[in-house]
Amino acid sequence: MTTDVLIGETEYFPGLGPVSFEGPGSDNPLAFAWYDAEMIVGGRALRDHLRFSIAYWHSLVGGGQDPFGASTRPMAWNEASDPMRAARDRLDAAFELITKLGVPFYCFHDRDLAPEGGSVDESADRLAEMVELARGKQDASGVRLLWGTANLFSHPRYMNGAATNPDFQVLAYAAAQVKAALDATVALGGENYVFWGGREGYFSLLNTDMERELDHLAGFLRRARDYGRSIGFEGAYLIEPKPMEPTKHQYDFDVATVIAFLRQHDLTDDFKLNIENNHATLAGHTFAHEVEIAGSAGLLGSLDVNQGDPQNGWDTDEFLHDLRDTVEMCLALMRHGGLGSGGMNFDAKIRRSSTDPEDIFIAHIHSMDTIARAFIVASRILEESDFLELRRERYASYDSGAGARYQAGELDLADLARLAGELGEPPLKSGQQERYEQLLSRYLTR
């Protein structure tokens, strides 16, 4: 799976890319130092392990606007006064960026690809028109769709939620949007379909019937699943947890909450998790923790790779560059069998003051390098060090004797109490945390 560089009528990033691999010694900010797509790790090319993806909304739509000011980033592809013309220009720019970076996948919201129309039908027609063009770009370049989704949070009609809106008319409108977004995803061979509960949550419990809203959400997901399957969608549906923002409390709070919800509503055969690092840290967890929880439940779907700022609690969506954290996440990911049909989507934005055309290239290159390097380090820790052995030894008392019988479900509480009396006071056994941390540090620089 390779991608061919695709430039439209206008070249939007002249002089930039295609990006090549120069190796760890490179000082060239516009070349890969670690991400060698062809490098074989554990029998597979890095490209196929990592399955990088561009996020249309951050890299082609958002221009750095924040609550205090307008956008700062020059984006010539968004300037046409006819919004469909702008959508076509944006598609050109998207495929130029994706293919120059050599990224194999992309992700979009319906409204990133095509502007909303004046009615449900006009919006669906506009999306279908853009899907036709995107299909051509995919075929010409070899780029694939990792997932599609519907933006059910920007329009004012969704201010009180979409599938959890107290007003049925809004829920129905959201359903129309998801139907069209599923049609688009299937037409483009999308491998997954994402639900991020944009405004599914509450600001005050005083005016909120939470039980009813959650029930409506489950019903909405069931309808979406059934429709998708009926039009031939065979991929995974993914829920993306986030604890807060925009609402005070988002229903899909974190991975554990979502898993409980999916199990309660019998949805685990079709739905998995799309885990985002900055959402994990907002919930007071780490990326590794969330990957571990989903992996243990067999519900690991895909990743939105980014990072927050340790000094504040916002969803700053920075490009992931923390090597150490990423190694920890990769250790959890690899122990649970990797991404499968998921990928690593750069749900990240360059800073508002990053206004040079090359900034978006450098941001992706640096993140791809960080992740590739972390992945290689993690695979070496797993294959060459005593990391797994140390962890196994820590639990060795459950491998034989009474411990093994306990793990197999035998021994009741009275049996355990009798054994405690016979075995006596347990000796203290070190958890050796510093030894693990040292091991990780040493592999970072090898």
State the sign of the Cα–Cα–Cα–Cα dihedral 151, 157, 161, 164: negative
Contact stretch for Co ion (CB under 5 A) within 46-54, 101-109, 290-298, 302-310: 302-310
Which of 109, 216, 289, 366 is the catalytic position? Answer: 109
Give the CA dihedral 28, 33, 36, 40, nearest 10 degrees: 160
| Per CB under 5 A, 292 contacts Co ion | no
| Per CB under 6 A, 242 contacts ligand XUL | yes
Instruction: Report CA-CA distances (Å) from 398 to 30, 77, 407.
Output: 51, 61, 7
Nearest distance, CB of residue 158 and ligand XUL, angstroms: 12
Q: Which two tokens stand for residue 20?
A: 């090549």
Site for ligand XUL in 11-70 (CB under 6 A): none
Alpha-carbon span 188 to 182, nearest angstrom: 10
Phi, then psi, of 428 in degrees rounded to 5: -70, 135
Which of 89, 112, 270, 317 is the catalytic position? Answer: 112
| Per CB under 6 A, 240 contacts ligand XUL | yes
| Per CB under 6 A, 315 contacts ligand XUL | yes
Site for ligand XUL in 74-113 (CB under 6 A): 109
Nearest distance, CB of residue 224 and Co ion, angstroms: 18
Nearest distance, CB of residue 37 and ligand XUL, angstroms: 24
β-strand partners of 240:
196
| Per CB under 6 A, 304 contacts ligand XUL | yes
Which is nearer to ligand XUL, 32 or 158 (by Cβ)? Answer: 158
Number of residues that bind Co ion (CB under 5 A): 3
Question: Is 109 tagged catalytic?
Answer: yes
Alpha-carbon span 98 to 320, nearest angstrom: 18
Q: Which two tokens stand for residue 139?
A: 């075929």
| Per CB under 6 A, 285 contacts ligand XUL | no
Q: Which residues, including other chains, have CB under 8 Å from residue 93's CB and lie 6 or more apart? A: 8, 12, 13, 60, 75, 76, 77
When binding is defined by CB under 6 A, the residue of 56, 95, 158, 196 that contacts ligand XUL is 196
21 binds, among ligand XUL, Co ion, none (CB under 5 to 8 A by kind): none
- Contact predicate 102/37, CB 8 Å: yes
Site string for ligand XUL, 149-188 (x = CB under 6 A): x---------------------------------------
CA angle (109, 110, 112) in 5-degree steps: 65
When binding is defined by CB under 5 A, the residue of 112, 213, 304, 315 that contacts Co ion is 304
Site string for ligand XUL, 321-350 (x = CB under 6 A): --------------------------x---
Q: Which residues, including other chains, have CB under 8 Å from residue 114's CB and lie 6 or more apart? A: 84, 87, 123, 126, 127, 129, 130
Alpha-carbon span 202 to 260, nearest angstrom: 19
State the sign of the Cα–Cα–Cα–Cα dihedral 6, 91, 113, 349: positive
Alpha-carbon span 401 to 126, nearest angstrom: 66
Alpha-carbon span 63 to 345, nearest angstrom: 19
200 binds, among ligand XUL, Co ion, none (CB under 5 to 8 A by kind): none
Site string for ligand XUL, 200-219 (x = CB under 6 A): --------------------
315 binds, among ligand XUL, Co ion, none (CB under 5 to 8 A by kind): ligand XUL
Residues that bind Co ion (CB under 5 A): 276, 304, 347
Which positions are annotated as active-site residues? Answer: 109, 112
Residues that bind ligand XUL (CB under 6 A): 109, 149, 194, 196, 240, 242, 276, 304, 315, 347
